[in-house]
Amino acid sequence: MEKRLNGKTAIVTGSNRGIGKAIAGRLAAEGARVVLCARDEKLLQQAVSEIGSSGGAAAAVAVDLRKPDAGARVADFAKSTYGQIDIVVNNAGATKRGEFVELSDADWEDGFALKFFGAMRLTRAAWPHLKASSGSLVNISGAGGRMPGPHFAIGGSVNAALLSFTKAMADVGIRDGVQVNAINPGNVRTGRYIQRLEQVAKEHGIDTAAAEKKIVSGANVTRIGEPDEIAALVAFVVSPEGRFLQGALIDMDGGATKVI
């Protein structure tokens, strides 16, 4: 693989599993030194070990990005470990699904605390370093930000806020020389998706293969995505070839987004 990111340092949040782990692995394979962060230290160290076994460079810091000081801690760790910050990928964040009237204030607060405020605070802490390195910021939002649904009120709202934040920071980035974009994944084969798949199978008394066909048909999409596909897109966006992208909200969702 061509190492398009040699000499770069990347922070990837929520990188102990799923999409975030795939992104961290791909950026490391492209030559970047990667700082992984999430809450589960054991899973983080496993991910770091896997990257090292493949010849990459990685370090991890276990933090709860819902905490007000977490973003600064991650940025400080990256700077002290590798001396610079060139890429930030805000990927962390899971929101509760369910009927609106059954969602509590705490559910809403938790959804925004991690995915939106966690991303905002890390961006604020890392911005001076990204400005110094003419770096790149990628926010992993989600198709629900543009295609909200009745059981995704929190997620759709948080994702929409993150997309608006992306556009605002893209204008700041033009002034400061920082590339800013967002990627909206649709259904991707993560642990969370597998749980939903098994729930659908149980509810309808069918196997998981049939349940997946039902999900794909119901969403009117081509198929379920893979974490490595999102990772490959991130790697392109932050590479020299993707540098003309600025303020782009990129849908990678198998056709789930039906609006212009």
pLDDT score for 148: 87
Where b means 16+ CB within 10 Å and e means fewer, 111-131 reads bbbbbbbbbbbbbebbbebbb
pLDDT score for 256: 96
Supply the DSSP string of 171-207, one letter for each residue: HHHHHHT-EEEEEEE-SB-SHHHHHHHHHHHHHHT--
- Examine the pLDDT at 228 and tell me if it is beyond 90: yes
Band of residue 229 on the pLDDT scale cut at 50, 70, 90? very high
* pTM as predicted: 0.97
Length of the chain: 260
Name the token pair of 208.
Answer: 């998981």
pLDDT mean over 119-148: 97
Q: How far is CA 162 from the centre of its chain?
A: 11
Q: What is the pLDDT of residues 22-39, one digit of tens each?
A: 999 999 999 999 999 999
Q: What is the pLDDT of residues 5-21, one digit of tens each?
A: 999 999 999 999 999 99
- Domain positions in the chain: 9-188+225-251
How far is residue 144 from each of residues 148, 163, 259, measured CA to CA in Å? 5, 11, 12
Alpha-carbon distance 141 to 77, whole Å? 24
Name the token pair of 1.
Answer: 């693989």
pLDDT score for 71: 98
Q: What is the pLDDT of residues 170-227, one digit of tens each?
A: 999 999 999 999 999 999 999 999 999 999 999 999 999 999 999 999 999 999 999 9
Band of residue 94 on the pLDDT scale cut at 50, 70, 90? confident
- Examine the pLDDT at 1 and tell me if it is beyond 90: no
Q: What is the pLDDT of residues 98-126, one digit of tens each?
A: 999 999 999 999 999 999 999 999 999 99
Name the token pair of 124.
Answer: 């604020």
pLDDT score for 2: 78
Question: Are 223 and 140 contacting, i.e. CB atoms less than 8 angstroms apart?
Answer: no
Residue 259: CB atoms within 10 A of its CB come to: 6
pLDDT mean over 68-97: 96
pLDDT score for 202: 96
pLDDT score for 146: 94
Q: In this structure, what DSSP letter does residue 137 have?
A: E
Alpha-carbon distance 181 to 166, whole Å? 6
Kindly indicate whether the domain formed by 9-188+225-251 is annotated with CATH number 3.40.50.300: no
Residue 77: CB atoms within 10 A of its CB come to: 17
Q: Report the mean per-residue pLDDT for the chain.
A: 97
